[in-house]
Every structure is written in structure tokens, then in C-alpha cells.
Copies of this chain bind each other. A is one copy, B any other.
Amino acid sequence: MFKEKLENLRKKGALIHNITNYVTVNDVANILLAAGGAPIMADDAGEAAEITAICGGLVINIGTLNERTIKSMFLAGKKAAELGHVTVLDPVGAGASALRTGTALRLLSEIPFTVIRGNISEIKAVSAGSGSTQGVDANVADRVSEENLDAAIAFIKSVAEKTGAVVAATGAIDLVGDSKKVFVIRNGHPTMSRITGTGCMLSALVAAYVTANPAAPLEATAAAVVAMGLAGETARARMKTEDGNGAFRQYLLDAVFTMTGEALEAGAKYEIR
């Protein structure tokens, strides 16, 4: 199931418009190229809608949002929706400031997103219109664990129901679901949290997978999440004694670049709930 998702992306490509933060943008561009997609970044109101129109998918990432780029997010998001393009929202740091939470909520109310991808705190923040986020990482209390898994799954389904989007809450355990079905994914490695940008990269990867597999947004999102986690495992296994997060960052891109459909299928650790 996941194998063909990866292979469709490599075969068909996917041009993804990213309105994203300047912290991780280079890694976002390179992971798209690693997976078989291609990036365009454009965040001026004077061209945001026009650039989106020539792409297949759009990622709105509010990581370093500002007054100017927020305007472009709405222009691009509405145009993408109008054209039936894949749209992914990454509400980075929602809950950490009123500007972030408010912008994410307004985006959700005006644009019908295909996928929302964040950590569980961010998903809670955009769901509740409230919630607490510490920085851009899930609060300890908000961490999905084996103990609170049933509740978390129910929560994902409810957010998906409410928003009409596929919801991906990623962390130690990743949950990817719509209103009826949730993939519980146990790929990945803790070292992924020792580099910046794994979340941003994943959101872009999701956009590319869904754009290349438009008939199956839930499965394509799950495939991208599994691919990222598996890449983290591969990267980790490659680390030598003297390697740190500098090496890990490179190995992660390399792992996405070299991943085959077979390896993705074989390496996937998930259950459906």
C-alpha cells in the first residue's frame, strides 16, 4: 500500500508551493527533491496566488509568520482550494502565541485543508481554539503514549470530523487519521527531535505524497509519515561514534533520497484503529 504511494511520487513528481519559515526552508526544499518532488517558495502577496496556480500542492507553515506573509497565506490558500489543489497546514507553535493560534484558526475557518500536520499540542491548540504549547514541541502532558492512546485516537477522529481534513499528529507515536480510521505509526527515532525541522520537512513530504496520490489522501499521508520515521531509523543506524545532529540531518535526507518502495513497505510499523 505504501510502496505504490512512494513510487507514484517518483514517477509523477509533485511541484509544491511552500509558504514556510526561514529556519528550516532549505531542508524542506531538499527533502522534496529527495523524495521525487520539487519545491517553489514564494510569499509575497503580489504573486502568492499566481505561483500556487502552477503547482500541484501548497504547504502553509506558520513557523516564522509575519503580517506580510500571513496575507499571502490566505491568498495562496484560497486560490489552491479554488483549484482543488492539495493543501497542508502546519500550525507551528500554535498555542505559543495569540498570533499563531489566531492565524491558524482563521486559516482553518477560511480554507478547507486537505491535511493538518503538527505535534499533538499544536493539533489541540487549533482544535480547541485554546490549549498550551511550549515552544514548538508537544508538552509532556500532551504526549501520545500507550497509556492515553485510545483517547488520542478518538481525539484525532474528532478533529478530522470537525475540520474535514486528514489529521496527522506526530511525535513518539504518530497518529494519522480521518473521521473513521486512524493509522497508529511506531516508526521513527528520538534523535529526530535533536535537529530542527523534522516536522516542517514532514509537512512538505505529506503534500508531495498526497499530490502524487490524490485519490487516497489518508493513505498517502500515512505513507509520508512512515517514510519520514523510517528515514529517521535509517539515519540513526548510520551514525558513528563521532557523529551528532550535523551528520544525522544529512543522513535523514540521504535516507529519503535512497528509500525504495519495498523498503518503505517492509519497514512500516503500524496498526489501523
Interface, chain A (partner B; CB < 8 A): 15, 21-27, 29-30, 33-34, 38-47, 50-51, 54-55, 63-68, 93, 96-100, 134-137, 193-197, 238, 241-247, 249-258
Distance in angstroms between the alpha carbons of A258 and B96 in the assembled complex: 30
Q: Which of B43, B197, B251 contacts A66 (CB 8 A)?
A: B43
Q: Which of chain B's residues have a CB closer than 8 A to the CB of A68?
A: 66-68
Chosen A-B contacts, 28 in total, with CB atoms closer than 8 Å, are: A15-B135, A21-B41, A22-B25, A23-B29, A23-B39, A23-B41, A26-B26, A30-B245, A33-B195, A33-B196, A33-B245, A34-B194, A39-B196, A41-B64, A42-B97, A44-B65, A46-B66, A47-B97, A51-B96, A51-B97, A54-B96, A194-B257, A241-B258, A242-B254, A244-B256, A245-B254, A246-B253, A249-B250
Q: Contact at A38–B245, with CB atoms within 8 Å?
A: no
Q: How far is the CB of A236 from chain B (nearest CB, A)?
A: 13
Beyond A26-B197, A68-B68, A243-B258, 15 additional pairs, beta carbon < 8 A: A22-B41, A29-B196, A30-B196, A40-B93, A42-B93, A44-B65, A46-B67, A46-B99, A47-B100, A50-B96, A50-B99, A238-B242, A242-B251, A246-B250, A250-B250
Closest residue of chain B to A101 (Cβ to Cβ) is: B47
Q: How far is the CB of A33 from chain B (nearest CB, A)?
A: 5
Q: Which of B39, B43, B67, B254 contacts A44 (CB 8 A)?
A: B67
Q: How far is the CB of A248 from chain B (nearest CB, A)?
A: 8
